[in-house]
Amino acid sequence: MSGRILKPVEVVLAALAILALSASVAGASTIYTNAPKPKPKNTVSQAFEATSTSELGGAVAFAGSAPKRTNPSVTIVLSSWACQEGAGTGCKTTPGAKFTWPVTVKLYNVGPEGAVGSPITESTKSLSIPYRPSANNKLCTPNEEGAVGYSKECFHGKEAAFTFPLTATIPNEMIVSVAYNTSDFGATPQGPQPCNSTPAGCPYDSLNVGLEEGAGATLGNQPRPDDAYLNSTWGGAYCDGGTGGTGTFRLDSGCWTGYQPLFTVKAS
């Protein structure tokens, strides 16, 4: 047997480490959320490939009076419009089918006048993301292709939430963002792939970031409710038409009222 045998003192130290970790996890509490409850079948969302986007974020401020917090976790909401086969009304997906794709959550300090400040930390995870359901003309009629919400009808996008644990001490206000690659955009555009030539296309090109629909934060608050933070190479994606610059992650002011990215933040 090649396993290592712990000495008594090592057993004690290991047990203490487990207890400390358990206490840290148990001590985490929600300090910000704008995620709707109950969770809808789908949500309005920001497409990345279709809007030449590689990163999207929003400013959040936390409930309570603690000036600093540690061991944060951020839960994001994604809306998957990817079909396993086909597209639109010809979409076919095996129930429960998923694809894997890396997604990054980043935290930034808030700079002067709401600008993007210095990075705090980031985390990248390979997520198991559901494909959207198969098209069902009986269930989905007259439900429109872009429908979101809670009705009993079929939804053409599939909402899913994912949690990212991070190691950092965070301020009371910060910028949270989501970033990932698509065929043509992101830190590493994927370029032509075999999936590009299929009717379904590449699933990551049909992956969106979930947005609220005017509800606002139910815990904590939104320091800049009319603004978001965006990195797109297309001027039309920005409120100012791109006059403030494209291709960098920057403040985008004035046209995001009621459409902040969906985040839930916990911390110790």
pLDDT in tens, 150-197: 565 566 789 999 999 999 999 999 999 999 999 999 999 999 999 999
Q: What is the mean pLDDT of the chain?
A: 88
Q: Which band of pLDDT confidence, cut at 50, 70 and 90, is reported for residue 149?
A: low
Contact 156, 146 (CB under 8 A): yes
- Write down the pLDDT at residue 147: 54
pLDDT at 67 over 50: yes
Q: Which band of pLDDT confidence, cut at 50, 70 and 90, is reported for residue 94?
A: very high
Question: pTM here?
Answer: 0.86
pLDDT at 19 over 50: no
Contact 239, 252 (CB under 8 A): yes
- Write down the pLDDT at residue 138: 72
Q: Which band of pLDDT confidence, cut at 50, 70 and 90, is reported for residue 242?
A: very high
The predicted-structure confidence for 105-120, as pLDDT tens digits, reads as follows 999 999 999 999 999 9
Q: Which band of pLDDT confidence, cut at 50, 70 and 90, is reported for residue 89?
A: confident
- Write down the pLDDT at residue 11: 38
Length of the chain: 268
Overall average pLDDT of the 60-77 stretch? 94
How far is 188 from 135, CA to CA, in rounded Å? 32
Give residues with Cβ within 8 angstroms of 6, minimum separation 6: 14
- Write down the pLDDT at residue 60: 98
- Write down the pLDDT at residue 66: 86
pLDDT at 1 over 90: no
Q: Which band of pLDDT confidence, cut at 50, 70 and 90, is reported for residue 24?
A: very low
Q: Which band of pLDDT confidence, cut at 50, 70 and 90, is reported for residue 18?
A: very low
- Write down the pLDDT at residue 151: 62
Nearest CA-CA partner of 71 in 122, 105, 24, 26: 24
Neighbours of 111 (CB within 10 A): 12
Residue 12: is it exposed, middle or buried by C-beta count within 10 angstroms (0-12/13-18/19+)? exposed
Question: Bridge partners of 73?
Answer: 165, 266
